Amino acid sequence: MTAALVRGGYVLTASTSDRIPAVIRHGAVHIVDGRIAAVDTYDALRSAHPDIPVHGGVNDIVTPGFVNTHGHFSEGLITGIASQFTLWEWIHALIRPVSPFLDREKAYVGTLLAGAQMLMSGITTANDMFVADPRPGAPVTPGVVDALDELNLRGVVSFGAGDIGSTLGVQAEFDEHDALLEAARSSRLSTFRVGIGAVGGQSEEMFARSVDYATGGGHGVHIHLQEIREEVTATVQRTGVTAVAHCEREGLFRAPTLAAHCVWLDPHDRDILARNRVGVAHNPVSNMILASGVAPVAELRRLGVDVGIGVDGPASNDSQDMMQAIKSTALLARVHHQQATALSAVDAFEMATIGGARALRMDQTIGSLEPGKAADLVQFDGDSLALANIHDPYQAVVFAAGARDISSVWVDGECSVRDGVLTRVDAAEVVARSRPLAAQLVTAAGLPHLSDLADTAEGARP
């Protein structure tokens, strides 16, 4: 049996149970064999378990691991390029040229690179959609699972399937689903969802088959929905209703569904999401970078929709820093509504933890610090400059702290980050391995011209 105590001046449990306080002053979490055995004051737990190791200090803040509800490890090697485009332009200029050249090695290394950044910013669960052209006979997406297992990062993995514009046919897309499903079944930490890139990316035949694959197989669904206004218009022209209404009409929402973005929703769309318990992934940073708009987060939450936070992809955020996304969630709501009470620090913290877990229908196992749940924890260094004086621990985490203030991260009771250093992989080795692959990828896809430097290089030369 392996056991430990993780202590802090504040333990923020994210619990909604009457049995567990939301805030425990001078508290601790008792971990046994990867699960949370107890949450209580440090003195009580230390008295009961005097001989087990103790991590953390009297000034630290301990929180549940953060749940990243939407991302794309397929973009792990193309960070910081093509930010001059809005979404549809960006897809055509960057994502489509890259997709044919992604293979299992690039999936593996890109996931190592992006996943390491996630862990360093407190993410312990990553809901991912890998967007690439399938490779018959040589599936790409199992590389994601390999990397997540190596990092010790919990994953909810999907393949962003779509046959419109593809020459490979529908079966190739489902072969990739099958390969990823098998990889997830063999993993300790990864689970599978059916990925649908977007309603507009699948033919009627493929969408119907996707619905059957999800509902018949008992799988969850990960889909982009109504991210931009053009998507709404195109889907209404094609199907007669919005993408949200189309999904309900075709039976997709019979499967547990996580919908990313949901920016351009009318009241009817919002009611459909609430009625079908569709979880929503709010991606404030990428929505701002790609000028997509502001999701109606407050309105959805008032309707009872479970809304989590996503960092989105390394090419659309471009950072994989959950601390930035959490802070941006609160700030974007405030500036959008021009009201300081539009979204509180507690609200943003809830969305990053138990709210994200509920959106993924995983709240029985992750998202809060409660006995019986997986031991996914984040320890903030209370002796850092940013956290020198903690007057309100929620505001300290959401508004004051950054990824640099995270000391250690546990996933399933194992320390994936200790004292600010990754424990499972060597960061310098990951960086070095990624560089030739990234250069190869952008060259093969013909992307160097997308850099702002491409327009100024001549004038910059001596």
Radius of gyration of the chain (CA): 22
List Cβ<8 Å contacts ≥24 apart for 288-292.
Answer: 288/328, 288/332, 289/83, 289/316, 289/317, 289/318, 290/85, 290/86, 290/87, 290/90, 290/316, 291/86, 291/87, 292/86, 292/87, 292/227, 292/228, 292/261, 292/263
- Reference 66, options 15, 125, 12; nearest CA is 125
CA distance 179 to 190: 13
> 41: which residues sit within 8 A by CB, 6+ positions away?
24, 25, 26, 27, 28
- Render pLDDT for 134-166 as a digit per residue (tens, 0 to 9): 999 999 999 999 999 999 999 999 999 999 988
CA distance 178 to 104: 15
Angle, helices 170-185 vs 204-217, to 10°: value is: 20
Around Cβ 215, how many Cβ atoms within 10 Å?
16
Coil/strand/helix, residue 321: coil
| DSSP β-bridge partners for residue 260 | 224, 281
* The Cα angle at residue 408 between residues 145 and 351, in degrees rounded to 5: 70
pLDDT of residue 214 exceeding 60, the answer is: yes
DSSP state of 305: -
> What's the longest Cα–Cα distance across the chain?
71
pLDDT of residue 309 exceeding 60, the answer is: yes
Q: Can you read off the two tokens belonging to residue 46?
A: 């230390």
pLDDT at position 169, please? 87
CA distance 270 to 298: 11
Domains of the chain from N-terminus onward: 3-64+366-420 (2.30.40.10), 66-359 (3.20.20.140)
pLDDT at position 452, please? 59
Is the distance from CB of 191 to CB of 155 less than 8 angstroms?
A: yes
CA distance 269 to 70: 20
- Render pLDDT for 79-106 as a digit per residue (tens, 0 to 9): 999 889 999 999 999 999 999 999 999 9
- Average confidence (pLDDT) over 354-374: 98
Coil/strand/helix, residue 197: coil
- Average confidence (pLDDT) over 382-410: 98
Tokens 């694959």 belong to which residue?
A: 213
Q: Can you read off the two tokens belonging to residue 356?
A: 């994200």
- Reference 146, options 110, 100, 102; nearest CA is 110
395 Rama sector, left if φ>0, alpha if ψ -120 to 50, beta otherwise: alpha
pLDDT at position 451, please? 62
- Average confidence (pLDDT) over 33-56: 97
Which pLDDT band, with edges at 50, 70 and 90, does 453 fall under? low
Which pLDDT band, with edges at 50, 70 and 90, does 326 fall under? very high
Q: Report, in this order, helix, strand and coil percent for the chain, each rounded to 5.
A: 45, 20, 35
